Amino acid sequence: MSLVTAGEVQIPSSNTSPIIVEFTAHALTVGYVFERDVQRLSEQEWQVPGIYTLLSEGTTPEIYIGKSIKLRGRLLEHKRNPKIKWTRAMIVKRGTINGFNSAQIGYLEGRLAAELRNTSNITVSEGRADIDETLPKSFLISLDELVPTLVRALRLAGVDTFEKDEGANFEVDDKTTNGKPNRRVTLNDLLSSGLIRPGDKLHLSQGAVTSTGTVTATGEITVGDRSYSTPSSAAAAALGLQSSNGWVTWRVGSLDGKLLDQLRSEWIDTEVEE
């Protein structure tokens, strides 16, 4: 289990001031504020570029995801003309001198929306229809690493972020060594060994359907505007099927590239040798 440590939590004495959480490892500052108190946000602190989520109440909340170069001003607009019936918001800025730029928050908006659409208890009513990929791949990889922290930050707001595919994060591997089943293999195993890299393009072709996906730094596959935690769930979505074995469908780099299953076999062979 991976942990993300919040370096500092600021709970002000005033009930109308936002609660602030600093995620120092990723230089993120996250604020939690009620809709009624948005006007009390400091202009100096929060009239800056960032992303935000508006949260409704209930066991299956509706969430609006957006971005703005002026967070406080945008939340005031939502207060006057709400897109959903929201009662609180999570606002995120970069805890560095330079902060985020518009391209970075555009990409993060799309990635967070894609991540949350794969949860079972959340309705994402708004968000980008596409992911802004105008930044260099190295920048996208570093931004991908922020997404799990953003999801965990939502958990602090009481949002259930259980993934639909979370129970299938480890896919069954029917290969055996000396008659004993190997442990289940994940994309993260291939990433950690260098067999695939963040940003690698995956391709599949089946019947009249062709599709591409992108490997993220967090071991997921993005297809279109959504992310999937396993190759099979990504392949099923790309093909419009209920299920598909993505390990024997996705190829790396091109339609003539190696199957993920071949790379999985290479990883297993290396583990057996070690």
Q: What is d(CA 253, CA 90) in angstroms, rounded to the nearest whole number?
A: 37
| DSSP β-ladder status, 209-215 and 221-223 | antiparallel
Is residue 2 included in any domain, yes or no? no
95: closest CA among 20, 155, 40, 159?
20
Sign of CA dihedral 188, 189, 192, 193: negative
State whether 171 and 127 are in the same domain: no
Per-residue pLDDT tens digits for 190-242: 999 999 999 999 999 987 889 999 999 889 999 987 888 899 989 988 988 87
Number of domains in the chain: 2
Residue 269: pLDDT over 60: yes
Structural element, H or E, at residue 3: none
What pTM did the predictor assign? 0.70
The CA distance from 22 to 2, in Å, is 18
161 part of a folded domain: no
Say yes or no: 111 and 225 in one domain. Answer: no
pLDDT for position 126: 65
Report pLDDT for 176.
46
Rounded to an integer, the average pLDDT of 160-168 is 57
The percent of residues in the chain predicted with pLDDT above 70, rounded, is: 84
- The answer to whether residue 201 is domain-embedded is yes
Domain that holds residue 39: 8-156
Q: What are phi and psi of 194, to 5 degrees?
A: 85, 5
CA atoms within 13 A on the CB side of 218: 21
Query: At residue 90, does pLDDT exceed 90?
Result: yes
Of 156, 176, 192, the residue at which a domain comes to its end is: 156
- Same-domain pairing of 48 and 112: yes
